C-alpha cells in the first residue's frame, strides 16, 4: 500500500519525505488554510503561488500532489483545474487535480452532475483527477466511469456519521469498533425475532423494528469507513477498474492497518498519525534493554 501524507505544511512534507516511506501528498482548502494560518501566525507573509510550487518541488517527481479546485460548476472547475495544472505541474510534473464527486449544495439538478462532467472533460485532456469526498461505493463507481485516476473515500467521516446517528460520543482520533456495533445489531435483531415468533413472514419482514435492527449502525449497508473501502475495492476488482483507491480521512494507526488489509491502493494519512505508526511501548523497552546490554568488547568493534 502506498502512503501519502495528508498536509499542506511544508515542514511536515519535508520531514515525512525524508523518512523514505512517502509516495505522495494530498492537500485541500482546509489543510491549506491551516498551513497559511501557521505561517501568518509566525509573523511571516506568504506568497501563495510560491508556496504551492514549493509543495510540489518538495514532494518531488514521481510523488503525486493533489491540489483542489474551489468552484462548484463545470465551467469554473475546468478553468481552475487547468490553471492549477498549468501553474504548478511544471515544478515536478506531479500535480493531480482534486474534484469533489458531487458539488450540489441543494436539491437542484442543474449542477448535480457537473462534477462527473468535469472529471470526464479533464481526464480526456490528460489531466489526472482525484475524485474526492466520496462517501459511497456508488459514488466511487461513477468517479471511475468518468475517468478519475484516483477515488478518495472519506473513511473517518463515515465513521463519524454512523457514530453520531447512534448517539455515541467520540474524539476525532478514537477508533470506531464497527465489529462490536455489528454484534450489537445482530443481538437486537435476534431478540426482536425471538419475541416475534408466530408472526407472518411478510409482516415480520415489513416490521419497522426488524428493519431498524438489520440496518443498525449502517449507512445504506455500509458499517464503517473501512467497510466502505472494502466495498469499493471489491467493485473495482470485479471489473478490473484501473482507478486507484485513496483511503482518506484517516484518524488512527489501527485504521491504516485495516485499510491495508482491505487492499486499498493508497492511504493518505495526517503527519501525526504516520508518526504514530512506529510507536509501541515494547519497542521502546526493547531498545533500552539492547542498549544497556552492550558489552565493552562488542562496542569496541565499532570504534576501530
Tell me how far apart the alpha carbons of residues 160 and 169 are, in angstroms, rounded to a whole number: 10
pLDDT given for residue 109 in this prediction = 63
List, for residues 230-251, the tens digit of each pLDDT value. Answer: 999 999 999 999 999 999 999 9
pLDDT digit string (tens) for 132-158?
999 999 999 999 999 999 999 999 999
How many Cα neighbours within 13 Å face the side chain of 44?
10
pLDDT computed for residue 149 by the predictor: 98
Beta pairing partners, 27: none
Give the per-residue pLDDT at 112: 78
Q: What is the mean pLDDT of residues 253-268?
A: 98
**Residues 24-65 pLDDT 10s:** 999 999 999 999 999 999 899 999 999 999 999 999 999 999
Residue-averaged pLDDT of the chain: 96
Catalytic residue among 9, 75, 87, 98: 98
In this structure, the answer to whether residues 191 and 206 fall within a common structural domain is yes
The verdict on 71 and 190 lying in the same domain is no
Task: Check residue 36 and give its pLDDT.
Answer: 95
Do 140 and 110 lie in one domain? The reply is: yes
**Residue 90: its pLDDT value, please?**
98
Does residue 103 share a domain with residue 62?
A: yes
Report pLDDT for 148: 99
Tell how strand 95-100 and strand 24-26 pair up. unpaired
- For the chain, the first-to-last Cα distance in angstroms comes to 41
Inside any domain, residue 31: yes
Q: What total number of domains does the chain contain?
A: 2
Q: Do 203 and 160 fall into the same domain?
A: no
Does one domain contain both 108 and 152?
A: yes
**Residue positions counted in the chain:** 304
pLDDT computed for residue 86 by the predictor: 98
Instruction: Confirm whether 298 is domain-assigned.
Output: no
Whether 259 and 192 share a structural domain? no
Q: What pLDDT, on a 0 to 100 scale, did the predictor assign at position 108?
A: 64
Coil, helix or strand for 133?
strand
What is the per-residue pLDDT across 79-124, written as a single tens digit (0 to 9) for each? 999 999 999 999 999 999 999 999 988 766 666 799 999 999 999 9
Listed in sequence order, the DSSP H helices in 195-270 are 201-206, 208-214, 225-238, 253-262
CB of 5 closer than 8 Å to CB of 268:
yes
Regarding whether 265 and 162 lie in a shared domain, the answer is yes
Answer yes or no: is 299 within a domain: no
157 and 9 within one domain: yes
Residues 117 and 209 in one domain: no
66 and 199, same domain (yes or no): no
- Is residue 98 among the annotated active site residues? yes
- What is d(CA 105, CA 128) in angstroms, rounded to the nearest whole number? 25
pTM score, two decimals?
Answer: 0.95
H/E stretch holding 199 reads none
pLDDT greater than 80 at residue 304: no
25 is in which domain, residue-wise? 2-169+224-292
Based on the domain organization, do 198 and 213 belong to the same domain?
A: yes
The CATH number covering residue 273 comes to 3.20.20.70
- Residue 193 in domain: yes
Furthest C-alpha separation in the chain: 86
pLDDT band at 226 (very low <50, low <70, confident <90, very high): very high
Q: What is the pLDDT of residues 192-222, one digit of tens each?
A: 999 998 899 999 999 999 999 999 999 999 9
Tell me if 19 is assigned to some domain. yes
Amino acid at each position: 500500500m502506498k502512503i501519502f501524507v495528508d498536509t499542506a505544511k511544508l515542514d511536515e512534507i519535508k520531514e515525512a519525505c525524508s523518512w523514505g516511506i512517502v509516495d505522495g501528498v494530498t492537500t485541500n482548502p482546509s489543510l491549506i488554510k491551516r498551513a497559511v494560518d501557521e505561517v501568518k501566525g509566525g509573523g511571516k507573509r506568504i506568497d501563495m503561488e510560491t508556496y504551492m510550487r514549493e509543495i510540489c518541488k518538495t514532494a518531488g517527481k514521481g510523488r503525486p500532489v493533489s491540489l483542489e479546485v474551489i468552484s462548484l460548476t463545470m465551467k469554473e472547475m475546468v478553468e481552475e483545474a487547468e490553471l492549477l495544472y498549468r501553474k504548478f505541474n511544471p515544478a515536478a510534473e506531479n500535480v493531480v487535480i482534486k474534484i469533489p464527486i458531487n458539488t450540489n449544495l441543494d436539491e437542484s439538478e442543474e449542477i448535480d452532475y457537473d462534477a462527473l462532467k468535469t472529471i470526464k472533460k479533464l481526464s480526456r485532456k490528460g489531466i489526472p483527477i482525484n475524485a474526492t469526498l466520496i462517501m459511497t461505493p456508488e459514488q466511487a463507481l461513477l468517479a471511475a466511469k468518468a475517468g478519475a485516476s484516483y477515488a478518495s473515500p472519506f473513511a473517518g467521516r463515515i465513521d463519524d456519521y454512523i457514530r453520531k446517528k447512534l448517539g455515541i460520543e467520540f474524539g476525532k482520533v478514537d477508533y470506531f469498533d464497527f465489529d462490536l456495533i455489528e454484534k450489537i445489531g445482530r443481538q437486537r435483531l435476534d431478540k426482536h425475532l425471538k419475541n416475534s415468533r408466530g408472526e407472518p413472514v411478510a409482516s415480520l419482514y415489513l416490521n419497522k423494528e426488524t428493519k431498524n435492527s438489520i440496518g443498525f449502525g449502517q449507512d445504506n449497508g455500509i458499517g464503517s469507513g473501512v467497510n466502505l473501502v472494502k466495498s469499493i475495492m471489491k467493485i473495482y476488482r470485479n471489473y478490473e477498474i484501473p482507478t486507484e483507491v485513496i483511503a482518506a480521512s484517516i484518524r488512527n494507526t489501527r485504521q491504516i492497518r485495516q485499510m491495508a488489509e482491505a487492499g486499498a491502493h493508497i492511504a493518505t494519512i495526517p503527519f501525526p498519525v504516520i508518526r504514530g505508526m512506529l510507536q509501541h511501548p515494547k519497542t521502546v523497552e526493547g531498545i533500552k534493554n539492547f542498549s544497556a546490554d552492550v558489552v565493552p568488547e562488542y562496542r569496541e568493534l565499532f570504534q576501530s
